[in-house]
A and B are shown apart, each in its own frame.
Chain A
Amino acid sequence: KNQVEQSPQSLIILEGKNCTLQCNYTVSPFSNLRWYKQDTGRGPVSLTIMTFSENTKSNGRYTATLDADTKQSSLHITASQLSDSASYICVVSPRNFGNEKLTFGTGTRLTIIP
């Protein structure tokens, strides 16, 4: 069983609308959680990174939340744009700095339509 589960697997929304992606993890111990955007065939690009003590972090139109008690995170995208079409991957780091092995989620494929 994957230690980082994401939902939905895929999502299609109209340009300009908002959406929320979910991530549940069981990785322990837990150091930090990241959200990446990955265009097809390209390397993941970091959107946000949060430690266990942070509840929310924003990066432009992207806002991530983290509940370390329930081991859940969400990524909220506001006013979606066509360029937001990509896979969004939740990544958890189990240890702290320098020697970490990232655990990748299953990803959500987001498609923005005009």
Chain B
Amino acid sequence: AAGVIQSPRHLIKEKRETATLKCYPIPRHDTVYWYQQGPGQDPQFLISFYEKMQSDKGSIPDRFSAQQFSDYHSELNMSSLELGDSALYFCASSSGGAPEAFFGQGTRLTVV
């Protein structure tokens, strides 16, 4: 069965650079969530989209932005990267009519 696809799997950037993470939800899923998981920490909710509109916002820095496109894939744009942005970034998707959320494998971002 198709799962949530994230790309790239690994990314290395320098401080002050920009990064774009992509998430392709499970087909027919209309909701996408982004999470940030620092080393040894539980995932922190960043932002979510439902039917291409932002539905909820968590601890997402102002340097980050995200959107959901017409094909329901989502992109997380991160600018002016800082060392503290190094983390695993997870995307999850769900269908508005069901409570189950499925996670992607994550993108490991390393800022040097």
A contacts, CB < 8 Å to B: 2, 31-32, 34, 36, 41-46, 49, 51, 89, 93, 96-107
Inter-chain contact count A-B, CB under 8 Å? Answer: 65
Q: What is the bound-complex CA distance between A105 and B44, given in angstroms?
A: 10
Taking A46-B101, A97-B97, A107-B42 as given, write out 15 further A-B residue pairs in contact, using a Cβ cutoff of 8 Å, ordered by the A residue number.
Answer: A2-B42, A41-B88, A41-B108, A43-B105, A44-B103, A51-B99, A93-B99, A99-B50, A99-B55, A100-B94, A100-B99, A101-B33, A104-B44, A105-B42, A106-B42
Interface membership of B48, Cβ < 8 A: yes
A49 to chain B, nearest CB (A): 6
Q: Which 6 A-B pairs have the closest CB atoms?
A: A98-B96, A43-B103, A104-B42, A99-B55, A44-B103, A43-B105
What are some 14 contacts across the A-B interface (CB < 8 A)?
A42-B106, A43-B92, A43-B106, A44-B103, A51-B99, A98-B55, A98-B96, A98-B97, A99-B31, A99-B48, A100-B101, A102-B45, A102-B92, A104-B43
The answer to whether B58 touches A97 (Cβ under 8 A) is no
B contacts, CB < 8 Å to A: 4, 30-31, 33, 42-45, 48, 50, 55-56, 58, 88, 90, 92, 94, 96-106, 108
Q: A98-B31, A99-B50, A102-B45 are in contact. Are A43 and B4 (CB under 8 A)?
A: yes
A72 to chain B, nearest CB (A): 19
